[in-house]
Every structure is written in structure tokens, then in C-alpha cells.
């Protein structure tokens, strides 16, 4: 019997919510899977951000290697599929003749042809081509497929509390997004006996940002629990001669919104690593930003040598000594007895990225990279209820014919999954991968299929237009990713 791998991405799903809801039997399908197979804490990337983490998942390489940090390229434009320079695991599998359906994987826009089908993600500008092959796109358009929430969704900004009716509308829109994804996934699942099937539900992340652990988010998880069961049922009914390995994964954890904003430029200035900027100078620069419509902090590189991002800094001219001293100093900084950073990571200088330090703040402190912020630490003002910049602990639930059941919760790394998924299909993990295999958890086939290697199909590269970025940026702003 043919063994296949189905992967369901629940963006930002966390054990903080899942554990109590599984215990209370609110999610019957996920509960059954967890009992039959194993569960794991899935350690994400640093930074634990959607685009960084899903890129690591699809390539099996670390952020220091693939260079996708956050949503924006240092030049200020959005990252897209052409910025990923390593083969995705389904492309490697295609070299061995494996067919895949990849639905809503982040950073797959602009669309690259696939041995199977592909639907791009929420970073796709409205109106752009979003699916391969074209017949699939036509089918999805006909059924009013929603890639993401409508761009005018909920109509509130992070700094204004939403009205009860705006919240109700948003919740309805999130549920309708799940229904649309379920319908498309069922149609695609029935179509062919795919070797690899991936579908991402972004609804968990959206609901947690706005509602965190409230009943709205439970309803979202329950709806997804049903959707997963239905998609698998549709596939099994259409292709009874397959055995399905199921992986439920998330790209990072989540935590209640931080109490304080920490402005990183003033912090570095206070620690003596940057010149202090007098208030009149900051006011002058703020005025300049308004006039020149410079939207992103990343464009204000003229301010100083080190360039600060929410997740770390680049500082091309700094000596290894200065970097070590800075890392050491940051690791010790406290505010009211609490450490601001939970992790400081020095990026090896031989790495091709310009980043020198990556950091993870404690959940109490939200990193703010705005170079024009005058204040150092101040109460966070936002209508968002939760975020994930400080929690890299995602989830994994695995069950199926090639999964070893385990009682105890395991600890795995997101970067390892690509290689393990390929190995489940009898394909050796690619040499560029940073991942490790878990033979104690997955039953890999004895014989690897390396003799069946085919030449990879040539990939055409359509261009994304810069004006597309504006609409996507507006959405990211609503989720608190852009100031």
C-alpha cells in the first residue's frame, strides 16, 4: 500500500491553549491523533516569526542560512518566493517523481510550477495569480476561494480597541476563511492520490492575535478540528489504497501581549553602543520621515552604523570583540528586576547574512526597532491580545502507519521536519539541510529510492511588482508587524 504524508499547519498553535482544550475533550479528532501517535514541542526559529519559520520548515535550513528574517528585506520590500534559495522539500520529492499539493504555504508567491499543485499564501497581493496549474486557479476563483481575510477586515488599527460588533465581524470572517480553505482542500485532496499534502490554517494565528484564549479562539480550533477530519476522510474515501501519515504542526508559539515596549535604539544608546540623540534631533527626523513618506524603520539606515531590527542587528563594521561585548551587556540588562532578553545569539561572522546578533526578548517586553523613538521603556498600547515574538515553542502531533506511538511529550526542532518528511517517503534528506533524522519516532522505509532520481523540472520565475507590497503591508500593520 502506498504511504503518504499529510501535513496540517496550524499557524501559531500552542500547547498553552491545546493542552487544556484536549484535556476537556473539546477537540475530538486532534485528541484521537495525539493518543494514537505522539506529541512534541516543536522548537521554532529565532526569530519565531511566520515567514522565517515557514521558510525553515519548507527548506530544512536555519534562518542564518536562508536569510529570511521577518517579512521585510532590509531594503524595505516584502520577501517573496524568489528570496528562498534552497529547494523546498516538495521540490526535492518531485525529483523522485513524488506528487504534492501545497496549499497556502507562506512565501510561495510568485507561484513556481510544482509537480502537482500549489496555492500561495496570505502574502499574495489581491488580484495576483495565486495557484498552479491555471485550471486550479480558475476552479478556486469560481468557488470564491479566500486566501486571506478581506483587506478591509475588521477595520481597526492595533492602537484602537475594537467595538463589540467589529469583533463579531472579525470572528465570522475568520470562520469563513476556514470554511473556504476546507472546501478547497477537500476538492484538491480528492483529485489525486498525492504523496505529500500540505495545508495551512492561518486562522489560529489571527484569532489568537485578536482574542488570545477567549471562546472565539476555541471555536476556531474546533472548526479546524472538524475540517482536518473531513479533508482526511475525503482523501481516504477517494483513494482507499493509501496509508496516511498525519502531522499537525505550528510554526511558533504564542504569548499574551507584552506589558512594555522596549525601544531598541535608545537602549543601545543608553548602553553606550550608539550616540545619544537629543530630542530636537529626533523631532527633526520624525518630521523628515513624514515629508519623505519613509514608512519603514529599515529605510532609515543613515541614522547610524548598526541597523536594528525587532529580532536583532546588523553592524558590518563592528569587530568580533565589540559584538561579544554587546551580546554580553544585552544578556544582563534588566528592568524592574526582570531580564529584557531571554536569549542572545551571536551570528557566526562566516555566515553570508549581515546580521551579527539575534535576540529574543522576554514576553513582558516587546521589541520596538523604531529609531525615532525618544522613550526607552513604556507601557505597550495595542488592541492585540497576544503575540509570538518571544515564544518559539510550537506544536507537533503525529500519527499514522510510520509513526511510533509515544506516551511522553517529545522535543523536536522545526528545521528537522523537511528531512524527516522526505525520509518517510524513502527519499534521502538533502545535503543542504541542517536537520537531523528521528528514527526513534518515524519508521523510515529500509530501501531509499535514490536510483529513481529525475532531473528537476525547469522553474520559471515570474516577477512580483513593488506596488503589490503596499496592500500586503497594510495587513501586516493590522497584526502589529509594522509600525
Q: Which spans of this chain sit near Zn ion (rule: CB under 5 A)?
A: 11-12, 50, 205, 251
CB of 123 to Zn ion, least distance (A): 12
CB of 54 to Zn ion, least distance (A): 7
Nearer to Zn ion, 225 or 251 (CB): 251
Contacts 24+ apart (CB under 8 A), 173-176: 173/149, 174/149, 174/203, 174/206, 174/207, 174/216, 174/220, 175/203, 175/219, 175/220, 175/223, 176/146
CB of 122 to Zn ion, least distance (A): 10
- Output phi, psi for 339, to 5 deg: -65, 135
CB of 50 to Zn ion, least distance (A): 3
Measured from each CB, the residue nearest to Zn ion is 50
CB of 114 to Zn ion, least distance (A): 22
CB of 12 to Zn ion, least distance (A): 5
- How long, in residues, is the chain? 483
Nearer to Zn ion, 80 or 115 (CB): 80
CA–CA gap between residue 38 and residue 30 (Å, rounded): 11
Strands 393-399 and 242-249: antiparallel
Alpha carbon distance, N-terminus to C-terminus of the chain: 52
Q: Reduce the DSSP state of residue 83 to 3 states and report it.
A: helix
Nearer to Zn ion, 195 or 251 (CB): 251
Nearer to Zn ion, 195 or 213 (CB): 213
Q: Find, among 445, 394, 424, 443, the residue nearest to 89 by Cα.
A: 424
Nearer to Zn ion, 50 or 100 (CB): 50
CA–CA gap between residue 227 and residue 225 (Å, rounded): 6
H or E stretch at 6: strand 2-10
Residue linked to cell 473531513: 230
Nearer to Zn ion, 113 or 256 (CB): 256
CA–CA gap between residue 425 and residue 3 (Å, rounded): 7
Answer yes or no: are the C-beta atoms of 27 and 222 closer than 8 Å: yes
Nearer to Zn ion, 12 or 74 (CB): 12
Strand order, beta sheet including 260-263? 365-368, 260-263, 377-379
CB of 274 to Zn ion, least distance (A): 31
CB of 479 to Zn ion, least distance (A): 10
C-alpha cell at 370: 523604531
CB of 45 to Zn ion, least distance (A): 11
Nearer to Zn ion, 205 or 261 (CB): 205
Nearer to Zn ion, 49 or 185 (CB): 49
**Cis status, amide bond into 47, omega within 30 of 0:** yes
Answer yes or no: are the C-beta atoms of 157 and 60 closer than 8 Å: no
Amino acid at each position: 500500500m502506498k504511504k503518504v504524508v499529510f501535513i496540517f499547519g496550524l499557524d501559531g498553535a500552542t500547547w498553552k491553549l491545546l493542552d487544556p482544550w484536549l484535556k476537556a475533550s473539546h477537540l475530538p479528532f486532534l485528541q484521537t491523533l495525539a493518543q494514537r501517535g505522539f506529541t512534541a514541542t516543536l522548537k521554532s526559529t529565532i526569530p519565531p516569526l511566520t515567514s522565517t519559520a515557514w521558510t525553515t520548515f519548507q527548506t530544512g535550513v536555519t534562518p542564518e542560512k536562508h536569510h529570511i528574517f521577518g517579512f521585510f528585506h532590509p531594503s524595505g520590500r516584502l520577501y517573496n518566493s524568489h528570496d528562498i534559495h534552497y529547494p523546498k522539500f516538495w521540490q526535492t520529492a518531485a525529483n523522485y517523481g513524488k506528487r504534492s499539493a501545497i496549499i497556502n504555504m507562506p512565501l510561495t508567491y510568485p507561484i513556481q510550477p510544482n509537480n502537482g499543485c500549489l496555492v500561495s499564501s496570505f502574502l499574495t497581493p489581491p488580484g495576483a495569480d495565486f495557484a498552479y496549474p491555471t485550471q486550479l486557479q480558475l476552479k478556486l476563483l469560481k468557488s470564491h476561494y479566500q486566501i486571506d481575510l478581506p483587506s478591509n477586515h475588521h477595520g481597526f488599527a492595533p492602537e484602537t480597541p475594537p467595538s463589540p460588533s467589529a469583533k463579531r465581524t472579525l470572528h465570522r470572517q475568520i470562520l469563513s476563511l476556514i470554511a473556504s480553505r476546507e472546501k478547497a482542500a477537500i476538492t484538491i485532496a480528492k483529485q489525486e492520490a498525492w504523496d505529500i499534502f500540505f495545508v495551512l490554517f492561518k486562522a489560529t494565528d489571527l484569532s489568537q492575535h485578536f482574542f488570545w484564549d477567549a471562546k472565539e479562539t476555541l471555536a476556531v480550533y474546533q472548526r479546524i478540528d472538524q475540517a482536518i477530519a473531513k479533508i482526511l476522510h475525503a482523501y481516504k474515501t477517494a483513494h482507499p489504497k493509501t496509508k496516511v501519515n498525519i502531522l499537525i504542526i505550528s510554526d511558533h508559539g504564542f504569548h499574551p501581549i507584552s506589558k512594555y515596549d522596549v525601544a531598541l535604539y535608545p537602549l543601545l544608546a543608553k548602553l553606550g553602543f550608539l550616540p545619544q540623540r537629543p530630542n530636537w534631533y529626533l523631532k527633526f527626523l520624525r518630521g523628515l520621515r513624514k515629508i519623505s513618506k519613509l514608512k519603514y524603520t529599515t529605510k532609515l539606515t543613515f541614522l547610524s552604523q548598526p541597523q536594528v531590527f525587532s529580532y536583532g542587528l546588523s553592524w558590518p563594521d563592528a569587530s568580533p570583540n565589540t559584538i561579544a561585548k554587546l551580546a554580553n551587556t544585552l544578556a544582563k540588562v534588566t528592568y524592574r528586576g526582570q531580564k529584557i532578553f531571554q536569549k542572545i545569539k551571536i551570528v557566526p561572522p562566516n555566515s553570508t547574512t549581515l546580521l551579527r546578533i539575534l535576540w529574543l526578548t522576554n514576553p513582558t517586553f516587546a521589541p520596538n526597532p523604531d529609531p525615532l523613538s525618544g522613550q526607552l521603556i513604556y507601557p505597550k498600547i495595542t488592541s492585540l491580545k497576544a503575540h509570538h515574538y518571544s515564544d518559539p515553542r510550537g506544536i507537533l502531533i503525529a500519527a499514522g502507519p510510520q509513526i511510533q506511538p509515544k506516551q511522553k511529550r517529545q522535543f523536536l526542532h522545526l528545521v528537522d521536519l523537511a528531512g524527516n518528511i522526505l525520509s518517510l517517503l524513502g527519499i534521502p534528506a538533502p545535503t543542504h539541510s541542517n536537520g537531523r533524522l528521528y528514527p526513534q519516532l518515524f519508521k523510515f522505509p529500509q530501501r531509499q529510492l535514490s536510483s529513481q532520481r529525475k532531473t528537476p523540472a525547469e522553474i520559471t520565475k515570474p516577477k512580483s511588482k513593488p506596488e503589490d507590497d503596499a496592500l500586503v503591508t497594510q495587513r501586516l500593520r493590522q497584526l502589529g508587524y509594522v509600525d
